[in-house]
Structure 1
């Protein structure tokens, strides 16, 4: 009498795949049917909804832990296709090497006979194609984002004072929200000479708090004047284009604030005048032989030195 084999099954979808109609239930049903047809007992089912770009996935860690503890009673670990297992070629081979010692990882729709050395070539194709697909998809997304920016549309997370929305053609656009008045206040007060610390305190009355660094970035953001910055890439330089969204402040106010910020930057970085004293003519000219920094000097109040000078 043959001993019935036992299997772990694993179904996975990512968040964007769920939106496209992929189903954990269908994967699980297919694997259970495969096991039933071959007299294999399913002892555990793992279901996850994480991206397979890496193996830092809670459910996958639980699967590995369960397989390690029960390795003597598990004959196989099943996935529907190899892209359900991983979409990262390098990490996938590392995981396969790990499971080689405690069990057999199988794909029911893309079967591979691991006893044949040449089968690794087919496995490499199965594992590489999903990664190539990810890379290609990433390129298309970046190209789409850049195209939107060049057309004046901000399709990323809206900055303070705006919220993400859709226009009448269902295209992404940003529209002003209740914090827009706070943005106007910030620009107006800076243009009138108020400090950034003073502006930060006043912004709290509008229901939001920003850090000093984020306020500086906010004050230089051309989105608030109705323009969109398109960053440089390998073939095109950075450019500023006219946006399709409503500006919060006018151009004259924005330029005035830039002048204030630039003046403050120049004042902070202005080269200090040389305060050399006649009695220290080499201060700032000589360099230390150990650290390479300029050598300084100062008058000494040592009584011993004064006594030596008097003796001379």
Structure 2
């Protein structure tokens, strides 16, 4: 009896293939007929439209990649394609994909070429192709290294082109390359008319010793220049994004350290003469390196106390851009929370460069902690917020019933009605059942509420380091306005404390008030709560409020 295989089809179409008559419908029809003739089970059809099989990476063909991922899940036994060029026209992709199929014992069948790798000998051949693919990959890596070495010996740059230069070739929207320069420069790159002047200006200005990296970053940003970032970097909300970014002191430092601008290239840790045109002289580059070394030490105005403790360390954030702020202690002994002007690459922030004394903000946070108060019915209010009252009641009844069973069984054992082995077995089962009878959200909120109830006593006995740990348990962030109101304007509660803050009230005599309505009106709520300070409840900055609402709608 013929084995009933589970078959899937991979059908792909581009504008060219439509003309050739390889429409998706036609490919699917032939796949259905093949399954019928061979008594195979048709499991799924993977359709990929508008993707060329010439692409040099599996990751660029999403449906193709999904098929290979499903191969590891034992969802099918054979893949059917109309022709092999529907599968791939790129040797690297072909070998890599066949290696994956061979690893999981999956065959490949081509209808037009009449190739059948679904039988045992065909699967073995596929696995052999996979082994060859590994050899090919290693050999290709060796050839790539040779190519990179040869480019370096010729003085040509490997990798992304640094700021201030551009390629002699440009790529249009269709992916076609067009030559910018006639003739092409020896290195394939040349100085960018505008960026080149700016990059040269960085070296010249810094060598004079009258400007800082922070000021140079601001100077570039004000002129509209942006970095050539191609990596995914976190923004203020922690999301990974790529693309041009604002210059920072760090990115300017990287430019000033790069010998490429003096006509050299770096390859495998060695400096080699470059074929490109130098932007600055070697003398100027050496002078800048000397200046960088002189300025690399810790500022004389700062105390060498790397382990100094701050109440809001890791919590304090700028209310405008949402990015973390730094804390520093100067030689005078005064400590400040600072928004570093040139350490951001996300956006221009109105609070850039702002500072505020640590003791001012710390005092407000301590007043906030002292002001939080829970009413006598706080647990019922929390239950109504997290909509778990019925579930809590059910779990409570089951826990009570399980505890009763434990007591009853203990009495039966004491009366000698069941043997010790059986008693131990049933007791363990009931105890395991008791451990599982919990409501995670409710239990977390109850523990958070109990901490708030005991907070005054804990806080009064805690030192600075312990108080910071308490805050880290309750909060994810404390937002500070260092520009206009110079105060705490909001706090972001950790998830278990979210419903606690919603039912909390401020003591009447308190100078600081937490507005327990979360910013978002969505059912899931928000973990960002506004704070008002001062005797007369200083009006909160509406602009900042809206920014917070936009950045943290539901966390």
Q: Output the CA distance in 2 between the equivalents of 1:169 and 1:52.
A: 27
Q: Output the CA distance in 2 between the equivalents of 1:156 and 1:39.
A: 50
Partner residue in 2 for 1:111: 115
Partner residue in 2 for 1:230: 267
Partner residue in 2 for 1:201: 218
Q: Output the CA distance in 1 between the equivalents of 2:164 and 2:295.
A: 25
Q: Output the CA distance in 1 between the equivalents of 2:145 and 2:200.
A: 32
Partner residue in 1 for 2:148: 145
Aligned residue runs from structure 1 range 127-146, under 5 A: 127-146=130-149
Q: Output the CA distance in 1 between the equivalents of 2:83 and 2:64.
A: 15
| Structure-2 change in CA distance of 1:182 and 1:105 (3 Å) | same
Alignment TM-score, normalising by the size of structure 2: 0.35
Partner residue in 1 for 2:189: 174
| Secondary structure at 2:280 match in 1 | coil
Which of 1 and 2 has higher RCO (CA within 8 Å, sep 6+)? 1
Q: Is the 8 A contact 2:108 2:118 kept in 1?
A: no
**Deviation of residue 24 (structure 1)?**
5.6
CA displacement, residues 151-190 of structure 1 (integer Å, 9 cap, x when unaligned):
2112532110000126747864221012111111111121
Q: Give the total of aligned pairs.
A: 239
| Structure-2 change in CA distance of 1:124 and 1:170 (3 Å) | farther
Q: Is the 8 A contact 1:179 1:206 kept in 2?
A: no
Q: Output the CA distance in 1 between the equivalents of 2:189 and 2:258.
A: 14
| Secondary structure at 1:124 match in 2 | helix
Where in structure 2 are there 5+ consecutive unaligned residues? 1-6, 37-44, 170-180, 227-246, 305-555
| Secondary structure at 1:92 match in 2 | helix
Q: Output the CA distance in 2 between the equivalents of 1:61 and 1:200.
A: 41
| Structure-2 change in CA distance of 1:53 and 1:129 (3 Å) | farther
CA displacement, residues 279-298 of structure 1 (integer Å, 9 cap, x when unaligned):
xxxxxxxxxxxxxxxxxxxx
Aligned residue runs from structure 1 range 154-169, under 5 A: 154-165=157-168, 168=183
| Secondary structure at 2:197 match in 1 | helix
Partner residue in 1 for 2:127: 124
Q: Output the CA distance in 2 between the equivalents of 1:255 and 1:39.
A: 73
| Structure-2 change in CA distance of 1:63 and 1:252 (3 Å) | closer
| Structure-2 change in CA distance of 1:131 and 1:199 (3 Å) | same
Query: Given the alignment, which residue of 82, 98, 101 partners 1:92?
Result: 101
CA displacement, residues 4-46 of structure 1 (integer Å, 9 cap, x when unaligned):
xx98343499xxxxxxxxx76799859979x87x964998854
Deviates more, 1:135-144 or 1:167-176: 167-176
Partner residue in 2 for 1:263: 294
Alignment TM-score, normalising by the size of structure 1: 0.59
| Structure-2 change in CA distance of 1:56 and 1:92 (3 Å) | farther
Q: Output the CA distance in 2 between the equivalents of 1:107 and 1:52.
A: 21
Where in structure 1 are there 5+ consecutive unaligned residues? 1-5, 14-22, 232-237, 274-312
Query: Given the alignment, which residue of 34, 41, 58 partners 2:62?
Result: 58
Q: Output the CA distance in 1 between the equivalents of 2:68 and 2:153.
A: 46
Q: Output the CA distance in 1 between the equivalents of 2:69 and 2:147.
A: 41
| Structure-2 change in CA distance of 1:26 and 1:110 (3 Å) | farther
Q: Output the CA distance in 2 between the equivalents of 1:229 and 1:114.
A: 50
Q: Is the 8 A contact 1:157 1:164 kept in 2?
A: no
